[in-house]
Every structure is written in C-alpha cells, then in structure tokens.
Structure 1
Amino acid sequence: MRIFVGILSAGLIAGIASAAQAQTEGLYFGAEAGAAIAPTIKFRDGAKTWKENHDLGYAVLGQVGYGFGPVRVEAELGWRANGVDKVKQPFNNANGKGSLDASSAMANVYYDIATETPITPFIGAGAGVVDVSADRIRVNNTTFSDDDRIVFGYQGIVGASYRLDDHWSLKTDYRYLRTLNAGLHEDPSYGNGRSKAEYTSHAVLVGFTYKLGEPPKPAAAYTPRPVAAQTPAPAPKTVQAAPITKNYLVFFDFDKSDITPEAGRTIDQAANAVKAGASTSIELTGYTDSMGSEKYNLALSLRRANSVKAALVRLGIPDREISVTGKGKGEQLVPTADGVREPQNRRVRIVLP
C-alpha cells in the first residue's frame, strides 16, 4: 500500500508543478507487454505455511480509453504469469513447479503532465477485479494448490509517452498491482483448507497508443487584400476627419500564431487607418492564456505579435514604423487562474499612438 500511495504522491507533485500544452483528447486504443515480478508470497492455513519464490514472468495488457484534455479514463484487460522457482517451506528451498497467474479487468484514471516536447509523463490509478490462479503449484509429488479465485484489486501507474504523430505514440510505464486476500483452496493431497495470500505484482512495460479521429485542421490561410491607395480630395475646405479607433484586438487559436481570416479582417482595418493618416507608428503587444510555462508563453506571445507585423508589412506598412512586444501570460484581458484556456486572452493588441 505504501508503494501505491508513493506513486500517486510523486505524480501529483509533478503535475502541480507543470502546465499542459498538448493533451490527449478523444478515443484511443493501446497495448503493451513486458516483464512482471511476483514477490515471495506466503500462504497460510492455520499452523501450515509455505513460501513461494517466483521466476521473472511476463505481463500483457490491452486498453481502450478516452481523453478529456489532461485527464484520461480507461478500461484495461491484463494477463500476468510467473513460474514457481522455489518453495521455501516445508521443503527447504526445493525446486517448485507450476505457475501463479493473474488475469485482470481494471478501470483506470490518468493525469497527463504535458511538457513543451513530444514526451508526456503521466500518473494513474486503477481498480477492478483480478482472477488469481494457482496453476498446479507443487514440489515432487505434493501439490499445494490448483485453484483460482476472483478478488478485488487496485494498481498505481507511472510512466511516459512519446508522440510520433497525430495518431501514434510509444509509451513505457511501471505498474504496481495488489489484491485483497485470495483464499485459494488447498489441494486434497496437502489439506482441505483455504490458504490466505495477497497477490502482488511489479511490471515494467512498453507499448503503443493509437488515437482515433482526425487531427484539428488549421485555420484557412489568410491572404492580405490589397489596400487601395488613398487619393486626396481636392476640396478647398478642411473636412473634419471621422473618429478613428486606435486600438484593435487580433485573436488567435489555442497554442497558435497563425492569422485566421477573422484576424486578417481586423488587420486590414488597422492598415487602412494607418494609410488614412491616423498614425505614423504602430505598437503591437502579444499575449497568451494561462496554459503553460512563463518561458513558453513569452515566446508564443512574441510569435503572435510578429505574425501581425508580417501581415501589416505585406499590406504596405513600413517595417520601421512597427514595434513588437510580448507579455506572455501577463495582463490578462479576462482574469483567470493559472492553467485556464481563455480565448480572449490569446491576442495581439494593435495600438495607433
């Protein structure tokens, strides 16, 4: 139980210290296999006791799950098998035969700790039922048990995945599985009681995950429209200019710096205002929402501001008249806690002084 709690505690501390940028969403399938260790198990029936040592075994798991951003829920079927190596009592470390197996059906919950790389650490916990099977465990001609029983089990999980593309990911993890007492019947040749033993397993696995569905499509490319040159009217009288909005907001998709068609129309308006004589300089300030680290978001806010600058230059605004600043997560338009995807905070402010 201490191992189980330790896995969760370490993972929660890491999760609080990190923010999410790329997250799993939608339906996925997974499979993995690897080595399984079943520690020495002590079987007890009144005054009779025997201890089993086990060979290094194997584990095979299959999963289907659904991601809701950083949180995933999953159904899992598993199989673990370990051959019996030695029986310590009552035969003084005699060679044993048979195997201790466990088939499981678990419901798991994961938390993905996203980083600014393709690597995503994760922690998880699960609970379900485990069919613990003593498959003809024996020494010489004495069979101790040949029985199975379904009992409640739980597990702790810690691992990491590596994203190959929008669908495929490799993963590796460590799993600690434990059950309640599996009261296996003794073989009649040894006794007629029910032995007490809790099954435990340590497994180190590698596998893959396949995510269904199409990746999000990028916004349609924005092509600036030519702005007609302004022809001064030859009117003899001075005409009062109409009020000009000197602040414009250009909004962006999550974790993107691409100019969307809607953002492009706002940039067109700002360029027209400059050409109409509203200003001889432009100040661009980029911002992000509160997802992710300070360093990552500062760079993202600068990319957004530079994307707007490039669009203005294509519209004929001289480069020297445009200044660019990035504020990252600072100065939110809509105040939020850290780790919140707020669309109105993902913006560039255009100011015509």
Structure 2
Amino acid sequence: MTFRNALLAATLLGLPLLSPLAAQAQTTPVTGVYIGAGGGVNFLQESDLDTKGGAASFLRGNGVSRSGTAEFSTGFTGVLALGYGFGNGVRAEIEGNYRQNDVDKLSGYSGFGRLNSSGTARSYGAMFNAYYDFHQLGWPVVPYIGAGAGYVWNDYDNVTARAANGGSLTVDGSDGQFAYQGIVGASLPITAVPGLAVTAEYRFLGTLQSEIDSTIRLGNTVQARGKTEVDSYNHSIMLGLRYAFNQPVPPAPVPVAAPVAPAAAPAPARTYLVFFDFDRADLTDRARQIIAEAAQNAGRVQATRIEVAGHADRSGTPQYNQRLSQRRAEAVAAELVRLGVARTAITVQAFGESRPLVPTADGVREPQNRRVEIVLR
C-alpha cells in the first residue's frame, strides 16, 4: 500500500461526512474534557532488516548477505484518548495506541536461497498530541490537523525467513523507541447528542529504528544470535467517536415576539450600543456598564419591551457571523436578566453581517459593526 493510496483511502472514508444530513450540524469549539476512541486499517511500510552481531558474522561467513526486506499485509489499529479542549480550536490529549500487521513476504539475504516467510509485527505505546480544529470556517464538518510525540514499542513475533536447506533467521522480541506522528482529519458533530462527534482521519506514525533479538538456526539447532535493525512507518485510516463533557448547548431558535398593541402616546425609544472584540462574544467591563445603564433606565421608564439585536462585521462567512451575532445577543440578554430585567420582556434577534452600522467590503474587520443594540420601548 503506497502513501498516495493511503491518502486516497482517507479521502473516500471522509466522503460520508459531506452528506446532506451534515448540513444541520453545529460546529461549537470543543471546550473542557473529552474522550475519544477510534479504529481502522493500518498499512505498515516495508522495512529493511539489517542483522548485526554474531548472527551477521555467521551469515557473512557462510556467504549470505546480512540484509533483507520485510513486506507486510494490511493490518488494523485502535486508539483511545483523553483530552482537553480550550474553546478556541486548540486541543491537547494523551493517547494509547495499538497496531498489528502480518508478514506478507521476506526477501533479500542473497545466498540463502528461496525463502518462506511468517510472523507478525505489532506496535503499542503512548503519545501526547496537539490539535487545531478549523471551526471558524462555519462548515458543518470541522477539519482539523494534529501532531504528536511519544514512546512506542515495536514487537516482532516470530518473524522468520526459512530457506530450503532448513536454515532460518528468526526476528523475535520488542524494543521501545521515540515515536512521532502527524494527523489530518474531520469531525461531524451529532446535533441530537451535544458534545458527541464522529471522526474520520489519516495518521502517519513513525519511530526511530529498533533493534530486535535475532536467532539463526539449522533445523532446530541454534547457530548464532544477534540483533536486527527494523523500521516502523505506519499509515492508518481510522473512524471514531469523540465525546466532550460539558459542551455548550447550541442556542435555541430565536422566539418570534408577539405583536404589541401601540400605545396612545408611545414613549420615544432609547437605544444603547454594546461593542465586542473581534470574534468574541464575551462582555468587556465597558459593555457591562452600558448594559447596567440600560437595565436601570428600563425600570425608570417602565419599558414594556426590550429589543436585543446582535450584529457582526463582514470578516468570516455569513453563516459563522450569524451564529456569532446570536451568541453576542444572548450574552447581553443574560446580563440584563442578571441585573433584574424579566426575561419575558426581552426579545432577542441576530442579524449577522446583514445590517452593518458602517458599510464595508466583504472580509473587512469593522469594530463598530461588532455590536449589540438594546432598544427600550
């Protein structure tokens, strides 16, 4: 299995995530503790086998090359992870992993004659991974990239090359080495279960070269012992599940305000503007002062209706800005309620980038458009 084919398989596995059902998924950033599990197929690249020590001397002394090559059948892999999301797309996790591939063919060792092959290669270990989720794209499927480092044991279980004359070379044992990996994937949030997501990803895992115990036999008699250097480069295609605890629930649909009969002599509306930092929905100290003033005046003028409307600038996609303006409006409404305003008197709306205070071109960051308007009526 070539590296190109592995990437193609990863793409094909990810296609179901682009189904029409995914269009309704929310892409809230992972916040807090999460767990994950996944499994799939593993492609172990062919490995050079370089025999050392007494076994190598015995081979050379008998006119046999000390070097060979191992090719492996398609195997399987599984991972378990415990991680933490920082709410801004960045995640960190600890992962345990396992991979297994059977030997398909052993070649080389010229002078040994035609070889029969058998055995299994396994690897298992622990990794520390860091990820970045591209949730700000506003897509129903969230792409992500990651990288990791850790420690992995390469275990060769009776990997044996047998010659027609009864001679054999067996590589059997394990050796731990520093490991590294790169990850490319995508997650599909499941709206019915907040915090749950299906994941599909490609992983490359490699280790430093390991040295495994090796034995040369003639029949059942041991002729020499030594070590064999082996490589470990894995390409894995995986599907999994991830569950984030305490994940924020997506905001409920904006309620439609009931029509209010006009008063005989309506009081003039009072408007307050609350501004936000770029791509943020949390309240600054100045914002809280303005909201407090609006809450006090709502009591003084006996406002019968308080309209809270969220807006965003034109940096980012319209879909993402719509959700961002909704979060801003909900944050202001929550602060008004905290200050004693009845929630039933508040109407919350979100306009995204559709009603700019200062008209701009698409993609422009305009501070005056990142706002929530509070209107007392």
Q: Does the Cα contact within 8 Å between 1:28 and 1:65 map onto a contact in 2? A: yes
- Alpha-carbon deviations, 1:16-66, whole Å to 9, x = none? xxxx97311111111111110111101113550111110100001111111
**How has the CA–CA distance of structure 1 residues 301 and 27 changed in structure 2, closer, same or farther, with 3 Å as cutoff?**
closer
Match of 2:170 among 144, 153, 161: 144
Count of aligned pairs between the two proteins = 287
Amino acid at match of 2:233: T
Residue aligning to 1:31: 37
Q: Does 1:332 align with 2:360?
A: no
**How has the CA–CA distance of structure 1 residues 40 and 92 changed in structure 2, closer, same or farther, with 3 Å as cutoff?**
farther
- Alpha-carbon deviations, 1:117-170, whole Å to 9, x = none? 331111000010001011000133624211101111100000101001312110
**Which stretch has the larger CA shift, 86-95 or 126-135?**
86-95
Match of 2:214 among 186, 194, 204: 186
- Alpha-carbon deviations, 1:150-198, whole Å to 9, x = none? 1111000001010013121100111101100101121253742222222
Q: Does 1:169 align with 2:197?
A: yes
Amino acid at match of 1:160: A
TM-score, normalised via structure 1 length: 0.66
Q: Distance in 2 between matches of 1:173 and 1:148?
A: 28
Report the alpha carbon displacement of residue 228 of structure 1 after superposing the two structures with TM: 10
Report the alpha carbon displacement of residue 351 of structure 1 after superposing the two structures with TM: 11
Q: Does 1:348 align with 2:373?
A: yes
Match of 2:355, SS state, is: strand
**How has the CA–CA distance of structure 1 residues 206 and 92 changed in structure 2, closer, same or farther, with 3 Å as cutoff?**
farther
**Following superposition of structure 1 onto structure 2, how do residues 1-353 of structure 1 map, counting pairs within 5 Å?**
22-45=28-51, 48-69=66-87, 70-90=89-109, 94-114=115-135, 115-140=137-162, 142-164=168-190, 165-189=193-217, 191-213=224-246, 215-216=248-249, 229=263, 247-249=271-273, 269=298, 287-288=311-312, 293-296=316-319, 299=322, 325-326=355-356, 330-333=365-368, 345-348=370-373
**How has the CA–CA distance of structure 1 residues 326 and 144 changed in structure 2, closer, same or farther, with 3 Å as cutoff?**
same
Q: Distance in 2 between matches of 1:110 and 1:30?
A: 13
Structural RMSD (CA): 4.7
Residue aligning to 2:58: none
Report the alpha carbon displacement of residue 85 of structure 1 after superposing the two structures with TM: 0.8
Amino acid at match of 2:152: V
Q: Does the Cα contact within 8 Å between 2:129 and 2:148 map onto a contact in 1? A: yes
Amino acid at match of 2:273: L
Report the alpha carbon displacement of residue 326 of structure 1 after superposing the two structures with TM: 3.1
TM-score, normalised via structure 2 length: 0.62
Amino acid at match of 1:169: A
**How has the CA–CA distance of structure 1 residues 131 and 302 changed in structure 2, closer, same or farther, with 3 Å as cutoff?**
closer
Q: Indicate the percent of aligned positions where both proteins have the same amino acid.
A: 27
Q: Does the Cα contact within 8 Å between 1:286 and 1:326 map onto a contact in 2? A: no
Unaligned segments of structure 1, at least 5 residues: 8-19, 233-243, 257-261, 276-283, 309-313, 316-323, 335-344
Unaligned segments of structure 2, at least 5 residues: 8-25, 53-64, 218-222, 283-290, 333-343, 346-353
Q: Distance in 1 between matches of 2:373 and 2:367?
A: 11
